[in-house]
Structure 1
Amino acid sequence: MSAASVVTERAMSEPDGPRAVLSVRDLSVSFRSDTRTVHAVDAVSFDLAPGEVLAVVGESGCGKSVTSMAAMGLLPPSATVTGSIRLDGRELAGASDKELQKVRGKDIAMIFQEPMTSLNPVLTIGRQIGEVLRRHRGLGRREARERAVELLELVGIPAPRQRVDEYPHQLSGGMRQRVMIAVAVACDPGVLIADEPTTALDVTVQAGILEVLQSLRERLGTAIVLITHDLGVVADTADRVLVMYAGRAVEQAPVHELFAAPRHPYTAGLLSAVLRPGAEGKRRLPEIPGLVPSLDEQPDACTFAPRCANADERCLAARPDFEAPAGTRHRDVPHLAACWHPVPVPAPRPTAGPDLPADKNKEDGQ
């Protein structure tokens, strides 16, 4: 267990609960146009503890990226945002652009999905990193350049003094992603949002990017919201997982508990569709039947019901609460699910004991 994980676990077990560096409550986001209104996020709540990695997973269009963009205050004017987004106790929902500019890059930062479209192609790498430092730290041009070199070295870019004067098109995709990380952590923000940071990168480069994020967490105590489709990345990186479906949070749990005993049928479906080593060609991967529903409205019902084999009239008539399902063991970090018919908890595997055949065979000398 990493040092940051120990800190997070200790914070989560405090009697009064952890002091969240980022606290989201009943966040809803809708987009209006001339013909329709799309309810992209519906009453999502979560906390992020210092030094914790929270993975947010779900199918495309479930609201993961919209939730993160709302936290950063980067949604377009067509978006209507309600609920609360508190960063170290400061309310960001409804804050003015001037107020948000003071915290973006300094207290909360984001690694965007496409570094080539996020980096300015006509400015050098050093200048783009230095802009954040000059704005929030008041550094001069020469000081900012030296700090940019240090940051490039921190994120694992070779020959940083050479690269600091190069342009984005001169770097590989993996190096551009590392530059995005350097820009995001330039001012040591308490919260880092990583939106699909390993998309379109080969496996080796992905591993390097994730190693950089883990190192930043351990060295700087950065809390990370990791948005990804890759459940393998989640298993290796996250402390806790938030599963979203059709704009809603449907399950939340510590990562190992969620993988071992998912309580929501949607989560169980996602995990069953993961390819296991050695299983190639042996069977067709299970599929979740049906399609993601339209987000033109959010019904007072379970949105997963049309695709769920266990759905009944209750699922179609009332929205389930987001709470600890019956049969869930009490933990300092709760396991929550929004389901009227949660997946049963697997029975614990028995261990060898005096009354088990294993011991009897041992006594018989077999």
Structure 2
Amino acid sequence: MSAPVSTEPVLSVRDLSVSFRSDTRTVHAVDQVSFDLRAGEVLAVVGESGCGKSVTSMAVMGLLPPTAHITGSVRIGEKELAGADDKAYGKIRGNDIAMIFQEPMTSLNPVLTIGRQIGEVLRRHQGLNKKQARARAVELLDLVGIPAPAERVDEYPHQLSGGMRQRVMIAIAVACDPAVLIADEPTTALDVTVQAGILEVLQSLRERLGTAIVLITHDLGVVADTADRVLVMYAGRPVEQAPVHELFADPKHPYTRGLLSAVLRPGGEGKRRLPEIPGLVPSLDSQPDACTFAPRCARADDTCTSSRPGLKAVAADAGADAPHRAACWHPHTLQETVS
């Protein structure tokens, strides 16, 4: 059951764009992404590899390299993060907003104990002494479901399984009760039972602490089970945004339909070949003033190849802030079922 959702956003992103410049070219990795996230809400950001999901999250966290050029607005409550320096971000990261990284084995320091790595966050942001930090680390390990936390706190990352290491990453991320938690592919490379355990931990955190979560994933099954809303990205641009049940029941953008059509259904294995989206993902060297999905879309016409569609309400009588919006000149109707 979903946690109560506040009306005021704890995270507000407006027209966020990210490009990377080199001597020979400029890559437009993210192009005008906007979304709001409220307390206790889970927003899933989905799309194929290279669509800009992780770059968006790194931009929000202020973790992109100096070669990145960032425009737009990122606000945590009343704090504007866009353009903030490392010192300002240092006070915010881990305290107001935190991140669970994709690969815990490379994110955790192999030569420091679990307790010390959790304690560093607590000592920096909450001023706890060593003894207090260790005691709180044990509590956090228990919170994320690690057995025998008083013993595990003194172990090293290599002594834990992949699922346990991911739970440690979650413990570090929520140590200071951040308002926003970004989970970048938190279940990648984990088996199904471990994955379910990690998702249960995230669900518990949002229900018990009111944590707002941005869940970055390519697994639509995880999205269906976990998210409240979904943002679909393609080639760096948002193409559809909707409440999760509405997106699965009535996807409007052809790309969203393509993603859903490629999902295996119970009892369907061996009876049909999974449809694939024809063509290739476009180069991000330039973002045309047109629909970037048009070269791969059977519904495309001259309007699609000559004019960029905005993210607009799919219902004719809905306002600009309608919950279901799509960036498509020819969105699908409810009668056109997903194959």
| Aligned match of 2:19 | 30
Deviation at 1:225, TM superposition (A): 0.1
1:306 is paired with a residue of what secondary structure?
helix
Q: Does 1:313 align with 2:302?
A: yes
**Which amino acid in structure 2 is aligned with residue 105 of structure 1?**
G
Q: Which of 159, 164, 171 is the equivalent residue of 1:175? A: 164
CA distance in 2 between counterparts of 1:124 and 1:220 reads 26
Aligned to 1:47: 36
Q: Distance in 2 between matches of 1:144 and 1:261?
A: 48
1:333 is displaced (CA, Å) by 5.5
Provide the C-alpha distance between the structure 2 equivalents of 1:342 and 1:328, rounded to a whole number of angstroms: 15
- Which residue number in structure 1 is paired with residue 196 of structure 2? 207
Q: Is the 8 A contact 2:15 2:34 kept in 1?
A: yes
Question: Is contact 1:20–1:48 with CA below 8 Å preserved after alignment?
Answer: yes
Query: 2:181 maps to which residue?
Result: 192
| Conserved 8 A contact 1:63-1:247 | yes
Partner of residue 226, structure 2:
237
1: CA distance, partners of 2:31 / 2:151: 47
The offset of 1:34, in angstroms, is 1.7
Instruction: Establish whether residue 268 from structure 1 lines up as the match of residue 257 from structure 2.
Output: yes
CA distance in 2, matches of 1:245, 1:331: 21
Describe the superposition over 1:109-150 as per-residue Cα deviations: whole angstroms up to 9, x where unpaired: 000000011000110000000000000000000000000000
Q: How many residues align structurally?
A: 337
Over residues 261-317 of structure 1, what are the superposed CA-to-partner deviations in whole Å (9 max), with x where a residue is unaligned?
A: 001000011001100011111110010101110000100000000000000000000
Could you tell me which amino acid in structure 1 is paired with residue 87 of structure 2? Answer: K
Amino acid at match of 1:96: D
Distance 2:168 2:33 in 1: 31
The answer to whether the Cα contact below 8 Å between 1:239 and 1:255 also exists between their aligned partners in 2 is yes
**What is the aligned partner in structure 2 of residue 325 from structure 1?**
314
* In the alignment, structure 1 residue 343 sits paired with structure 2 residue 294: no
TM score, norm. by length of structure 2 = 0.97
> Does the C-alpha gap of structure 1 residues 125 and 245 become closer, same or farther in structure 2, counting only changes over 3 Å?
same
Q: Distance in 2 between matches of 1:244 and 1:251?
A: 7
Partner of 1:138: 127
Task: Report how far residue 326 of structure 1 moved.
Answer: 4.3
In structure 2, what is the Cα distance between the partners aligned to 1:347 and 1:38? 35
Where does the alignment leave 5 or more consecutive residues of structure 2 unmatched? none
Q: Matches of 2:239 and 2:195 in 1, distance apart? A: 28
Residue 321 of structure 1 and its aligned partner are, at CA, apart by: 1.2
Structure number with bigger Rg: 1
3-state SS, counterpart of residue 44 of structure 1: strand
**Rounded Cα–Cα distance in structure 2 between residues aligned with 1:270 and 1:329:** 26
- State the shift of 1:345 in Å: 2.0
Normalised TM-score (structure 1): 0.90
Please say if residues 328 and 335 of structure 1, whose CA atoms lie closer than 8 Å, have aligned partners that are also in contact. no
Tell me whether 1:73 sits opposite 2:62 in the alignment: yes
Determine the C-alpha separation between the residues in 2 that align with 1:318 and 1:330. 22
DSSP 3-state at the match of 2:75: strand
- Indicate if the aligned counterparts of 1:301 and 1:319 stay in contact, CA closer than 8 A: yes
Inter-CA distance 329–261: structure 2 relative to 1 (3 Å threshold)? farther
**Residues 45-70 of structure 1, C-alpha deviation per residue, up to 9 Å, x if partnerless?**
00001110000000100000000000
Shifted more, 298-307 versus 27-36: the winner is 27-36
Q: Is the 8 A contact 2:42 2:227 kept in 1?
A: yes
The one-letter amino acid of 1:221's match is: G
**Unpaired stretches in structure 1, ≥5 consecutive residues:** 12-17, 349-366
Report the equivalent of 1:159. Answer: 148
Tell me how far 1:346 sits from its aligned partner.
2.8
CA–CA distance in structure 1, aligned partners of residues 85 and 226 of structure 2: 34
AA at the equivalent of 1:90: K
Instruction: Give the AA of the match of 1:93.
Output: A
Q: Indicate yes or no: 2:128 matched with 1:114.
A: no
Q: State the one-letter code of the partner of 1:229.
A: H
d(CA) in 1 for partners of 2:153 and 2:21?
42
For residue 244 of structure 1, report the CA deviation from its aligned partner: 0.2
Tell me, what secondary structure is at the counterpart of 2:9?
A: coil
Structure 1 contact 58–245 (Cα < 8 Å) conserved: yes
- Percent of residue pairs identical: 81
Q: What amino acid is aligned across from residue 308 of structure 1 in structure 2? A: C
The 3-state SS of whatever aligns with 2:270 is coil
Runs of 4+ in structure 1 deviating by more than 3 angstroms, as ranges, are 326-333
Alignment of 1:56-95 (within 5 A): 56-95=45-84
Is the 8 Å Cα contact of residues 312 and 320 (structure 2) preserved in structure 1? no
SS of 1:278's partner is coil
